[in-house]
């Protein structure tokens, strides 16, 4: 039974003020949904309102560690999207609390509220048997979601790129300061970087009902590239010549453990463990069309998008003349 008709369909988006969130909110608002953005600090989420019409986007307070706030945020919603994820653990924001138990809390509240569809964002690399706590917590989150809300759809993006990304920006900033960039484990790990706008479009299609209930979709861009190739592309766009130096796994792990004590470490031990596995769309997902192209989305390439935001890292910023 539909609670609201047409334009009045309501979507609650957990984690809607983050990097992926703002793009998802925009994609949903464009489709005419009323969007409730459930965030820990709604006072900081006001910047989302102009992405829709007056009153269409409403920030509300919710914290996945407090189930009653989640119940309140999904009340009266037709659909729910959960984008909450953390790359670093700090204080009470632990992988297990946010990505495993938090996912369960959202799915349970959505089911109890009679929500029609739930779209849950996980990550390629989610693996219950992984040595990396991040990957384990993502896998536990997926299992909990499907236990509580069996018709949910799960999307697993590869590394996401876009203006506020945590990957290319981080290494471009590092290249400004350091003559050397580390190739962790030799830089052979394979990624399939995917544009944030394409991930957001897929999630909005999940809300529309274009995905098969209970299935896991794997989202990757058009190109598979090694860690080394990703860094080389970033250096080419930013016009910086830097040495890429192989850092063997054992040394990277020690370095990660030492850096773990910093408040915002450039590399953690857990991230080193994650890098030991390739981060690409699986063959089963491709065969079943549980991919961007399977949804009819033509994924955009790194070559097309990265220059739009990485040129700020050139020696003289965006006004540096093109080489060649």
Predicted TM-score (pTM) of the model is: 0.90
Neighbours of 323 (CB within 10 A): 7
Range from 48-62, 158-172, 181-195, 265-279 carrying the lowest mean pLDDT: 265-279
Burial environment of residue 96 by CB neighbours within 10 A (0 to 12, 13 to 18, 19 or more): middle
- Tokens 């790359």 locate to 87
- CA 261 to each of CA 128, 264, 269: distance values in angstroms, whole numbers, following the listed order: 26, 9, 10
Tell me the domain boundaries of the chain. 6-161+192-222+278-300
Q: How confident is the model at residue 7 (pLDDT cuts 50, 70, 90)?
A: low
The answer to whether residue 229 scores a pLDDT higher than 80 is yes
First-to-last CA distance in the chain? 61
Tens of pLDDT, residue by residue over 161-201, are 999 998 899 889 989 888 988 899 899 999 999 999 999 99
Q: What is the pLDDT of residues 102-152, one digit of tens each?
A: 888 999 999 999 999 999 999 898 877 877 777 888 888 899 999 999 999
Are 83 and 21 a contacting pair, CB within 8 Å? yes
What confidence tens digit (pLDDT) does each residue in 24-37 have?
Answer: 999 999 999 999 99
Residue predicted with more confidence, 210 or 132? 210
Contact between 85 and 123 under an 8 Å Cβ cutoff? The reply is yes
- Find the range with the poorest average confidence among 6-15, 265-274, 304-313: 265-274
Q: Which CATH class is domain 6-161+192-222+278-300?
A: alpha beta
Q: How far is CA 303 from CA 1, 193, 238, 312, in A?
A: 45, 11, 12, 16
Neighbour count for residue 167 (Cβ, 10 Å): 16
Rounded Cα distance between 39 and 179, Å, is: 39
User: What are the structure tokens assigned to 125, written together?
Assistant: 């690399």
């Amino acid at each position: 039974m539909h609670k609201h008709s047409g334009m009045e369909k309501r979507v609650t988006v957990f984690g809607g003020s983050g990097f992926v969130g703002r793009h998802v909110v925009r994609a949903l608002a464009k489709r005419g949904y009323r969007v409730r953005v459930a965030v820990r600090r709604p006072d900081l989420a006001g910047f989302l309102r102009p992405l829709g019409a007056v009153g269409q986007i409403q920030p509300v307070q919710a914290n996945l560690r407090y189930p009653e706030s989640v119940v309140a945020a999904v009340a009266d919603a037709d659909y729910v999207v959960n984008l909450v994820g953390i790359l670093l653990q700090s204080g009470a924001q632990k992988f297990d609390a946010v990505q495993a138990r938090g996912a369960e809390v959202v799915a349970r509240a959505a089911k109890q509220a009679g929500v029609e569809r739930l779209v849950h964002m996980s990550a390629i690399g989610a693996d219950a048997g992984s040595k990396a706590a991040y990957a384990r917590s993502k896998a536990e989150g997926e299992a909990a979601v499907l236990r509580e809300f069996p018709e949910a759809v799960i999307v697993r993006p590869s590394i996401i790129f876009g203006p506020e990304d945590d990957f290319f920006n981080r290494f471009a900033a590092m290249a400004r300061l350091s003559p050397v960039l580390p190739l962790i484990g030799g830089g052979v790990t394979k990624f399939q970087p995917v544009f944030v706008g394409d991930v957001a479009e897929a999630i909005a299609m999940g809300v529309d009902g274009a995905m098969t209930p209970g299935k896991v979709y794997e989202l990757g861009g058009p190109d598979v590239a090694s860690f080394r190739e990703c860094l080389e592309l970033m250096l080419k766009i930013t016009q910086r010549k830097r040495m890429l130096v192989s850092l063997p796994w054992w040394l990277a792990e020690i370095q990660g453990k030492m850096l773990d004590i910093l408040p915002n470490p450039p590399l953690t031990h857990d991230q080193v463990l994650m890098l030991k596995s390739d981060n690409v769309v699986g063959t089963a997902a491709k065969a079943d069309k549980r991919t961007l192209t399977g949804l009819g989305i033509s994924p955009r390439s790194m070559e097309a998008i990265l220059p739009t935001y990485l040129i700020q890292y050139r020696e003289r910023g965006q006004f540096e003349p093109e080489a060649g």
